[in-house]
Amino acid sequence: MTEFIVNQWWLVAIVIASLIPLVMRIVSAGLLETLRTLDRRWIFLLLLWAVLIPIYFIGVTGRTFPEVPSVLARATFDEIDRLNPGDPILLAFDYDPPSEGELGPMATAFVYHAASKKLRMYFMALWPLGAQMIDNTIAKVITPDFRDLVYGRDYINLGFKSGQEGVIKVVVTNLRELYTTDSRGTAMQDIPMMEGITNIQQMKVIVSVSAGYPGTKEWVQYAVTPFPSLRLVAGATGVQAPLLYPYVPRQLPGLLGAIKGAAEYEKLVVDAYGGANADPKYLEALRRMGPQLVAHLLIITLIVVANVVFLIDRGRKR
């Protein structure tokens, strides 16, 4: 840490300089008065530093926190890991760039896991930008690191269809009426891995990477509930994850919640398939847990400080 501070003196100088006006105000008006009338932009600045400095620290030093996978992350991992090579799985990428910070690492880890297991991957999207997210993940994982996997034989991007839950309602019994071609415009009959696939009940597992509506909830309601033999695991945003717990485990055997869930699953996948020197691109969530820690501590401190001021003021009024 000391070495970091000495080497990155310029960053330390910028952080200190940016906070000088706040310190001066505390000195002149007093701590309590400053806190009572604190301009919210100071909170913005504190949060900026709380997130930016750990990112920079981890980026420079490469150090991350150890991660212990929780029961649900392990359950998610096991659902995919128990499959055999060649088993078909559906990967529904129902998210777009705004939630990539949370869901990008999950999507990467799911694809890395499935590709390592040599599963047949069927990608589709209920969000308009989902097809692009699929392209990006394929370009990040499969194209550079799994060159033996062939498009159309081992993986396929079916692309986006509009209609939210209406799409699930159709593909669960009749995939081909809606998906007449893949996202490249190739007819279903010309795609080797589509042979014999008529609906998504034939998938061994459905993986839902979900940012909201339509997403995991709709997959539970329109696919898993009416067809209980389907197995669904999900990677969901922090906002969505708590709402999905009532479905666990009967309708949703595996759930990764927010960046922590991503980091746990990443750890399981990389430990199992990444080797001793895993590519750092597969440890994105693990790195992001650093800023997460500092920012959480800041938020707790802010709440505590605000409550101390509140209690002091209430005591004085009485």
| Interacting positions 221-260 with other proteins (CB under 8 A) | 221-222, 224-226, 237-239, 241-243, 245-248, 250-251, 257-260
The reply on whether position 66 binds other proteins by CB under 8 A is: yes
d(C-alpha 237, C-alpha 146), whole Å:
28
**Residue with smaller CB distance to other proteins, 121 or 252:** 252
Q: Give backbone dihedrals phi and psi of 240, rounded to 5 degrees, phi first.
A: -85, -35
- 180: DSSP letter: S
**Sign of the dihedral defined by the CA atoms of residues 83, 89, 94, 99, in that order:** positive
Near other proteins by CB under 8 A, which window of 87-95, 113-121, 200-208, 273-281?
273-281
Whole-number minimum distance, CB 81 to other proteins, in Å? 21
**Residue with smaller CB distance to other proteins, 101 or 274:** 101
Q: Of 79, 179, 63, whose CA–CA distance to 126 is shortest?
A: 179
The reply on whether position 99 binds other proteins by CB under 8 A is: yes
Query: What does the block give as tokens for 140?
Result: 């990040």
The reply on whether position 124 binds other proteins by CB under 8 A is: no
Query: What does the block give as tokens for 148?
Result: 């033996």
The reply on whether position 298 binds other proteins by CB under 8 A is: yes
Strand partners, 94: 210
> What's the gap between Cα 224 and its chain centre?
22
Write the CA distances from 236 to 77, 133, 252, integer angstroms: 15, 15, 12
* Relative orientation angle of helices 71-81 and 100-116, to the nearest 10 degrees: 40
The reply on whether position 56 binds other proteins by CB under 8 A is: yes
Among 181, 198, 201, 273, binds other proteins (CB under 8 A): 181
The reply on whether position 315 binds other proteins by CB under 8 A is: no
CB contact at 8 A, 164 and 124: no
1-30 positions binding other proteins, by CB under 8 A: none
d(C-alpha 123, C-alpha 141), whole Å:
14
Near other proteins by CB under 8 A, which window of 23-31, 85-93, 111-119, 213-221?
213-221
Whole-number minimum distance, CB 112 to other proteins, in Å? 14
Among 76, 183, 210, 216, binds other proteins (CB under 8 A): 183
Near other proteins by CB under 8 A, which window of 46-54, 87-95, 112-120, 268-276?
46-54
